[in-house]
Amino acid sequence: AQSVSQHNHHVILSEAASLELGCNYSYGGTVNLFWYVQYPGQHLQLLLKYFSGDPLVKGIKGFEAEFIKSKFSFNLRKPSVQWSDTAEYFCAVNARNSGTYKYIFGTGTRLKVLA
C-alpha cells in the first residue's frame, strides 16, 4: 500500500536556523507531491507542489522542496526560519490507485521556532 513517512514528529529551532523536514513515500508509479502547512488556528493551506519539470520547487514564504526520484523523497527546506513559521507541516502524495487518484498525507511535523 502507498504510504508517506515524515520522520520528524516534533522539531524545535531557534530563529535564523536552517530547516529541513524529511518526507519519503512508497509508490513506484507517477506521483504528485505536496507540502501543506497549518498555522495555529488556521486552515491547512498549500505551501508548494511538484508534478513535473524542475525537481527543485519553490513555494511561499521562502520554502523550497526537492524531489529526488531515486530516493522517493520530497524534503522541505528553508535556509532561515522565522518565529512565524511555527506550524504543523504535512507532506502529501497524490497517486493513482485502482483507477483513481487519491491523496495520502503523512503524519505531520510540528515545528516550533523560538524567538
Partner 1 sequence: DVKVTQSSRYLVKRTGEKVFLECVQDMDHENMFWYRQDPGLGLRLIYFSYDVKMKEKGDIPEGYSVSREKKERFSLILESASTNQTSMYLCASSGTSPRRVRTDTQYFGPGTRLTVL
Which of 83, 107, 112, 114: binder of partner 1 (CB under 8 A)?
A: 107
Write out the E strands in 1-115.
Answer: 3-5, 10-14, 19-21, 24-26, 31-38, 44-50, 56-58, 64-68, 73-78, 87-97, 100-105, 109-114
Query: Which residues ranging from 61 to 90 are in contact with partner 1 (CB under 8 A)?
Result: 90
∠ CA 57-13-93, rounded to 5°: 35
The verdict on 45 binding partner 1 (CB under 8 A) reads: yes
State the Cα torsion 16-18-81-42 to the nearest 10°: -160
Q: Which residue has the cell 508534478?
A: 51
Which of 13, 22, 27, 49: binder of partner 1 (CB under 8 A)?
A: 49
Residue 90 beta carbon to partner 1: minimum distance, rounded to whole angstroms: 6
Residue 51 beta carbon to partner 1: minimum distance, rounded to whole angstroms: 4
Q: Which region, judged by CB under 8 A, interacts with partner 1, from 12-20, 39-47, 55-63, 65-73?
A: 39-47
Which of 7, 15, 51, 55: binder of partner 1 (CB under 8 A)?
A: 51
Could you tell me the end-to-end alpha-carbon distance of the chain, in angstroms, rounded to an integer?
Answer: 41
Query: Which positions lie near partner 1, rule CB under 8 A?
Result: 6, 9, 32, 34, 36, 43-46, 49, 51, 90, 92, 94, 96, 100-108
